Structure 1
Amino acid sequence: MWNSINNLRLMSPSIPAIVKIILFFSTWIVLWLPAAIVLAIALKWHPPQPLGNKKLPLLASLYVIVPFILWATSWIENTSFANWGWDWQPAVLMSLMRGLGLGIISLVILFGLQLTAGWIELQIGEISTETGEKKINPWALIFNPASLLTLLLALWISGTEELIFRGCLQTILQQDYSMLIAAAIASFIFALAHLIWAAKETLPQLPGLWLMGMVLTLARIADNGSLGLEIGIHAAWIWGITTVDTEGAINPTGRAPEWITGIAAKPLAGAAGILLLLATATLLFLTQISVNQG
């Protein structure tokens, strides 16, 4: 087996990038399936049942083997995680924090504009005993144990996904394609990968997920090849949308069609979410121009 892996390393420069990607995902799935089957039996789940709260254990079992897959890939490719944008320098942490801030601000703008327009309404808060009015306390939604745990999970998920799709896959694809084509392919795979968890809910989000991948690629470019900024943005989006969804914090009022606010209350399946992505892309593009001119 070791000879086969060593031969693969020697042959790697001559293997088409698409074939490498197919081998990457095939290996990942083959290694994950035994654990997935055992977990599915233990959780008493089988397709096509909805995953619900059973998704997290299956997702964790899928992502926990990623470091080993990526390490093997980096060895075969004779490269390092640093070349994929993953570095432990303090500057990366600062970029991650900036990304978190940018992602949170973008969501505040997204939901804030819809609230102002009357397209959605807040469902959280407490009824005042004096006035009978509903008092909104967003800090209680953000700073609670469940929300903070969601943030940690969001950082793990976004870090894993960005290292895979915008780090490893993007770099490998650029061996045979331009940066733009490589980003388009990697983003397409990124969007399709979400079908594994909830195909019916994900289908309307595919265009938004693809565009999200392109925007995150632009974030890597704006961050001089580092993954820090895009991990932060991605984590903020996961954290904010998941928290709002699980807490039932907002509800469409019906004053705007679903294609605007998001089909099934999924922002990426609506025009508002798409505009959020385009606005973020514009800001990243302008930031890159400013850095280049500076």
Structure 2
Amino acid sequence: MFFFSLTNFSVPFISNLLTSLQDAPVIVVVMVFFMAWLGCWLPIALVLLRLLHWQPIKPLQPEQKLPLIVSLYLLAPLIVWGVIWLTNSSFSDYGVVANWAMLGSLALGLGLGLVSIVMLYACQFWLGWCVFKELNIKQIASILPSILLVALLVGGIEELVFRGFLLTELEQDYSVWVAAVISSVIFALLHLVWEQQETLPQLPGLWLLGMMLVLARICDRSHNLGIAWGLHSALVWAIATIDTAQLVTYTGKVSEWWTGKNNKPLAGVAGIVCVLGTSLILWVLSVYF
């Protein structure tokens, strides 16, 4: 009897929810997505914080942040799938397809991202802004695979959410560039969740990075997230490897506003020039190839 009562309640509720979301303004769908993502993650986060013996009076340590970030990111595809089910759309609408074209685009993005970072640090080395610690190069082989896996996870999930779901939904009500600006602002601001002091100087650079990744999706002739995913993952992979192995030391020859405040490339002129240069390459590829 209880089962039938529950069924009689749940079926109309789900039907009404489906109809409401399909007819709702884009901003409502976006808000439902982020609220559902946060709502599902908070209980998991509370359990993890308890297991990690976190004390409210102390800031989160890197080893405590990692399980929280991983759990948050692993939930995202499930929430996107929920929105897809409710709105009768598909992952391909958000630029995720399982084919060779996606794999080729991913490889292209990875290559472009790595070349961009190599050029960034090569120029700074040539200008005398930084030096490489050759003794630490031996550490790279042991940490590259694990950092690559994390970078692919971070890059893939963030592209699915911001250049896949969010950008696509916003394009229903706005032009592509207005949608790009809004999604990139949200992309930049949400990085404040984990670290405010170091993230604040990076906000302009993070917004510009978001715009570059929008361009990466637009210029992909297969209309998938492959180039954006690969580019994003390559940047995370390279910078995390450099930081973990402590490969670079800045000489102090110029202000950190040139090289990046708190040693974060996106918080400096050099990093922003790198993003602009990569964006120019993407535009050339989209126009002439």
TM-score by length of 2: 0.92
Work out whether 1:100 is the aligned partner of 2:98.
no
Other structure's SS at 1:68 match: helix
Other structure's SS at 2:249 match: strand
Work out whether 1:181 is the aligned partner of 2:190.
no
Structure 1, residues 125-147: CA drift from partner, whole Å, max 9, x if none?
17xxxxxxxxxx4xx34422x22
Residue correspondence of structure 1 range 90-239 to structure 2 within 5 A: 90-125=100-135, 137=137, 140-144=138-142, 146-224=143-221, 225-239=223-237
77-86 or 4-13: bigger deviation: 4-13
Other structure's SS at 2:254 match: coil
List gaps (5 residues or longer) in structure 2: 1-9
Q: Is the 8 A contact 2:140 2:245 kept in 1?
A: no
Question: In the alignment, residue 202 of structure 2 is paired with which amino acid?
Answer: Q
Please point out which of 281, 284, 288 is paired with 1:283: 281
Structure 1, residues 10-60: CA drift from partner, whole Å, max 9, x if none?
123431212221111111111100110111111122456043222211111
Q: 1:141 to 1:116 in 2, by over 3 A?
A: farther
Q: Is the 8 A contact 1:92 1:226 kept in 2?
A: yes
226-235 or 51-60: bigger deviation: 51-60
* RMSD, matched Cα: 1.4
Question: In the alignment, residue 24 of structure 2 is paired with which amino acid?
Answer: I
Q: 1:198 to 1:124 in 2, by over 3 A?
A: farther
Aligned counterparts of 1:277 and 1:154: Cα–Cα separation in 2:
18
Work out whether 1:267 is the aligned partner of 2:276.
no
Q: Is the 8 A contact 2:22 2:86 kept in 1?
A: no
Aligned counterparts of 2:12 and 2:274: Cα–Cα separation in 1:
49
The residue number in structure 1 matching 2:78 is 68
Other structure's SS at 2:131 match: strand
The residue number in structure 1 matching 2:46 is 37
Taking only the aligned residue pairs, the percentage that are identical comes to 45
TM-score by length of 1: 0.91
Deviation at 1:3, TM superposition (A): 3.5
Residue correspondences, number = 278
List gaps (5 residues or longer) in structure 1: 127-136
The residue number in structure 2 matching 1:130 is none
Aligned counterparts of 1:258 and 1:19: Cα–Cα separation in 2:
41
Q: 1:141 to 1:240 in 2, by over 3 A?
A: farther
Question: In the alignment, residue 35 of structure 2 is paired with which amino acid?
Answer: S
